[in-house]
């Protein structure tokens, strides 16, 4: 798909989800790549696409944590071409907007990834919102699959490095609050970044202080972070109970148990809980395969589970449609709630809910077409509709 908007048209479905609620049968009027109207009856004068019975038309999914896809990892190939390949791979899972994610790496790689995202955005690459820098300022006590040799302590100039994208796109930074010197979070936020806590061993003290400085997120809740104890809140306790926190969560049946998913949904609600994939290169890889390398370590795929040599989870082979399906069927959420967690809530946290994450006049015509089993049957990006053959 290109930057050029698709043709003006009307898309009609028996079930339309607007980002918060199901509206029943509606017709979405698309003009110039944007939603011009949402009506009960298709208006005359424009080509009409009537979706099959039982189809759901919903806002395209917004994924804040995408390490790779289509057989490529951003760390291995921080270029606009790789970013385009990753975005295309995730479109088949219903994602129409995402943050390419760089996991902990050396500073020259960070600089290259930011430059690649800036170039992709400048070229009008659809669906690229900015960049997620997950590390390298993380706790060596909670590295997860990150390479300990690539973790770092803050040095002069790092705030400017991390926020080098500037106003050209969204910058999301995951860090361990206890690793960041006082004032670091506020400096990052002042330069326009969203800051999230992750890969942290903090007992909750540094997390609270970072929230007061403007931190507002928790990265892959429950994973690679200090847990709730009988006396210590830990990162999990703070994330679950502080209303300032938007929390991402990986609903794939491997990272977080179903009971924990239900607890998170009950405490955070769909207004603060966000589905993410933390996806690696196997998603949408036409070559298939059961192995790839990450910083010299072999990562093995068994079904949709990815692990390193020692059994550590290594991201996921999850799509956003799969996350919605799992959250709605096993994670204690209604379908409406799960779909909100995959669209409107992440868009709202990024401050982009006036543009994406909902079906409403003035928003981008970025849509996903789902069947009754929540399998993706097509996507619409800036009005360019691509339907899969039945």
Model pLDDT for residues 197-234, shown as the tens digit of each residue = 999 999 999 999 999 999 999 999 999 999 999 999 99
Domain at 338, CATH number: 3.20.20.140
Residue 291 marked as a ligand binder: no
Is 143 found in the same domain as 272? yes
Taking the CA of residue 40 as centre, how many other CA atoms within 13 Å lie in the half-sphere pointing to its CB?
0
Residue 121 marked as a ligand binder: no
Is 180 found in the same domain as 31? no
Quote the domain boundaries for residue 371.
Answer: 9-58+358-387
Structurally, how many domains does the chain consist of? 2
Is residue 373 included in any domain, yes or no? yes
pLDDT bin (cut points 50, 70, 90) of residue 390 is low
8 Å CB contact between 218 and 241 = no
Residue 155 marked as a ligand binder: no
- Residue 1 in this model has a pLDDT that exceeds 60: no
Pick 388 or 337 by higher pLDDT: 337
**CA–CA gap between residue 369 and residue 59 (Å, rounded):** 9
Is 66 found in the same domain as 53? no
Among residues 56, 24, 52, 53, the alpha carbon closest in space to that of 38 is found at 24
Is 82 found in the same domain as 65? yes
pTM beyond 0.75: the answer is yes
Taking the CA of residue 292 as centre, how many other CA atoms within 13 Å lie in the half-sphere pointing to its CB?
23
Is 105 found in the same domain as 169? yes
Is 152 found in the same domain as 23? no
Is residue 217 included in any domain, yes or no? yes
Kindly list the catalytic residues: 278
Residue 264 marked as a ligand binder: no
pLDDT for res 287: 86
Is residue 2 included in any domain, yes or no? no
Residue 326 marked as a ligand binder: no
Residue 255 marked as a ligand binder: yes
C-alpha separations of 348 from 132, 282, 298 in Å: 16, 29, 37
Is 238 found in the same domain as 367? no
pLDDT bin (cut points 50, 70, 90) of residue 290 is confident
Is 147 found in the same domain as 35? no
pLDDT for res 288: 82
Is residue 1 included in any domain, yes or no? no
- Residue 143 in this model has a pLDDT that exceeds 60: yes
Averaged over 156-174, what is the pLDDT? 98
pLDDT for res 2: 55
Is residue 4 included in any domain, yes or no? no
Residue 26 marked as a ligand binder: no
- Residue 60 in this model has a pLDDT that exceeds 80: yes
Among residues 352, 347, 293, 349, the alpha carbon closest in space to that of 320 is found at 347
| Beta-bridge partners for 197 | 175, 218
CA dihedral 175, 179, 181, 186 (to 10 degrees): 20
Among residues 229, 54, 233, 65, the alpha carbon closest in space to that of 134 is found at 65
Is 159 found in the same domain as 45? no
pLDDT for res 70: 96
Report DSSP state, residue 227.
P
8 Å CB contact between 326 and 255 = no
Is 216 found in the same domain as 256? yes
Residue 220 marked as a ligand binder: yes
C-alpha separations of 320 from 46, 207, 354, 356 in Å: 31, 28, 21, 16
8 Å CB contact between 134 and 101 = yes
Name the least confident of 4-8, 42-46, 113-117: 4-8
Averaged over 240-246, what is the pLDDT? 98
Is residue 335 included in any domain, yes or no? yes
Residue 313 marked as a ligand binder: yes
Is residue 38 included in any domain, yes or no? yes
Domain at 42, CATH number: 2.30.40.10
Is 249 found in the same domain as 204? yes
Among residues 328, 343, 332, 305, the alpha carbon closest in space to that of 374 is found at 328
**CA–CA gap between residue 66 and residue 76 (Å, rounded):** 14
Residue 315 marked as a ligand binder: yes
Residue 199 marked as a ligand binder: yes
Is residue 3 included in any domain, yes or no? no
**CA–CA gap between residue 157 and residue 354 (Å, rounded):** 33
C-alpha separations of 138 from 52, 92, 361 in Å: 48, 32, 41
Residue 50 is inside which H or E element, if any?
A: strand 48-50
**CA–CA gap between residue 206 and residue 201 (Å, rounded):** 10
pLDDT bin (cut points 50, 70, 90) of residue 304 is confident
CA dihedral 157, 160, 163, 168 (to 10 degrees): -150
Is 193 found in the same domain as 51? no
């Amino acid at each position: 798909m290109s930057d050029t908007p698709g043709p003006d048209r009307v898309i009609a479905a028996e079930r339309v989800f607007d980002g918060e609620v199901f509206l029943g049968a509606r017709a979405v009027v698309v003009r110039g790549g944007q939603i011009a109207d949402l009506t009960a009856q298709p208006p005359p004068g424009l080509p009409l696409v009537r979706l099959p019975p039982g189809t759901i038309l919903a806002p395209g999914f917004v994924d804040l944590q995408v390490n790779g896809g289509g057989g490529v990892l951003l760390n291995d190939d921080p270029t606009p071409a790789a970013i385009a390949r990753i975005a295309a791979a995730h479109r088949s899972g219903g994602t129409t907007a995402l943050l390419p994610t760089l996991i902990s790496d050396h500073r020259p790689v960070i600089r290259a990834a930011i430059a690649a995202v800036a170039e992709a955005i400048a070229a009008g690459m659809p669906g690229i919102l900015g960049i997620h820098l997950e590390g390298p300022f993380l706790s060596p006590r909670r590295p997860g699959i990150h390479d300990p040799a690539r973790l770092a302590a803050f040095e002069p100039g790092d705030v400017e490095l991390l926020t080098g994208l500037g106003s050209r796109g969204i910058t999301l930074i995951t860090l361990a609050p206890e690793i960041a010197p006082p004032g670091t979070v506020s400096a990052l936020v002042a330069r326009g970044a969203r800051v999230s806590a992750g890969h942290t061993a903090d007992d909750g003290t540094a997390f609270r202080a970072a929230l007061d400085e403007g931190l507002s997120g928790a990265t892959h809740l429950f994973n690679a972070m200090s847990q709730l104890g009988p006396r210590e809140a830990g990162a999990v306790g703070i994330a679950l109970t502080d209303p300032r926190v938007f929390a991402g969560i990986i609903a794939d049946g491997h990272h977080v148990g179903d009971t924990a998913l239900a607890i998170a949904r009950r405490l955070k609600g769909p207004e603060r809980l966000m589905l993410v994939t933390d996806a690696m290169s196997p998603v949408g890889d036409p070559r298939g395969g059961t192995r790839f390398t990450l910083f010299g370590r072999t990562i093995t795929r068994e079904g949709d589970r990815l692990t390193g040599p020692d059994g550590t989870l290594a991201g996921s082979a999850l799509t956003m449609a799969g996350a919605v399906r799992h959250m709605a069927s096993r994670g204690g959420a209604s379908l409406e709630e799960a779909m909100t967690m995959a669209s409107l809530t992440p868009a709202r946290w990024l401050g982009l809910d006036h543009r994406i994450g909902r079906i409403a006049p003035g928003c981008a015509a970025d849509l996903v077409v789902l069947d009754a089993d929540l399998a993706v049957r097509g996507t619409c990006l800036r009005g360019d509709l691509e339907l899969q053959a039945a």
